[in-house]
A and B are shown apart, each in its own frame.
Chain A
Amino acid sequence: MADTLSRVQRIIVDRLGVDAAEVTLEASITEDLGGDSLDSMDLILELEDEFSIEISDADAEKIKTVGDIVTYINSHS
């Protein structure tokens, strides 16, 4: 879990240009971290590569927070 979170944090910091401290499990990608819909799409593609998974469009739409990402990855990889 901790390892997944730190890898996710690194990608989000890199993609959205935010501080690592802001990337908490509760943080919403769009509302708290300032990502727009294209950034979210970008993030999903990046996560697919990083964790060697495929995230369907339907699942991607359900992902709102950093915690959602971590939970999804831990249950699919």
Chain B
Amino acid sequence: MLKEKVALVTGGSRGIGRAVALALAKAGADVAIVYAGNQNAAEDTATAIRDEGRQAITIQADVSQSADVDRAVKETMSALGRVDILVNNAGIARDNLMLRIKEEDWDQVLDTNLKGVFLFTKAVTRSMMKQRSGRIINVSSVVGLIGNPGQANYTAAKAGVLGLTKSAARELASRNITVNAIAPGFIETDMTEKLGDEAKENMLEQIPLSRMGKPEDVAQAVVFLASDYASYITGQTLNVDGGMVTM
């Protein structure tokens, strides 16, 4: 389905990003994994991709630094030749009630979760415009749509990603580049592992399918949006949330 394609996945060492990287490789793509700090996890994901018979490289980068982002795209270009699919998945959380969110916690979350999406999108756009094709898939969150107490910074960034997705989709459509977002709900990852039992039970009550999602559930949606089956879809948000948000 994605034979001969090259994908770059940010936050690709663990959680949803790892599942996305693996699913893209299973669909035939070579993958560049951009990771923040966990080199072992990134190498582990790369090994799993090579086991699928695809090429994989790992690149350490801070997605909020333009020099890092430009380097990551250049390294991918020289190692794998091109970038056909960009998955902006890297994200962090610094949860607290709004009154207690420190300015630096606001800045860090916005820098990684929103500015990082902008920087990577900008960095791949030039080559995607020239090759007159490309797929950009941004991982947002259901809380970016409905809000969540204790996550003002995170939800602001994730809602910002949806606006960026729509503007980028309109700007790049004439060059056959589609830009879409995925809004995962409550997914089993290290990030949600930290939530308390009570918070988890409250969450489960809001999910019509009454179970947490798996990273693979999100990954399959990414593969779909990256594939030819989704060539007429752009500027959209696909919710992968067990029915949490219906709109």
Residues of chain A having any CB pair with chain B under 8 Å: 38, 41-42, 45, 48-49
Contacts and interface: CB of A to CB of B under 8 A. Distances in A.
A45 B174 contact: no
Interface of B: 126, 129-130, 171, 174-175
Contacts of B129: 41-42, 45
Given A38-B171, A41-B129, A42-B129, 4 more contacts: A38-B174, A45-B126, A45-B129, A49-B130
A49 B127 CA distance: 11
A42 B126 CA distance: 10
11 contacts: A38-B171, A38-B174, A41-B129, A42-B129, A42-B174, A42-B175, A45-B126, A45-B129, A45-B130, A48-B130, A49-B130
**Those 9 A-B pairs whose CB atoms lie nearest each other, nearest first:** A45-B129, A45-B130, A49-B130, A38-B171, A38-B174, A45-B126, A42-B129, A42-B175, A42-B174
A38 B171 CA distance: 7
Nearest to B174: A38
A33 B130 CA distance: 22
A41 B129 CA distance: 10
A45 B129 CA distance: 8
Contacts of B175: 42
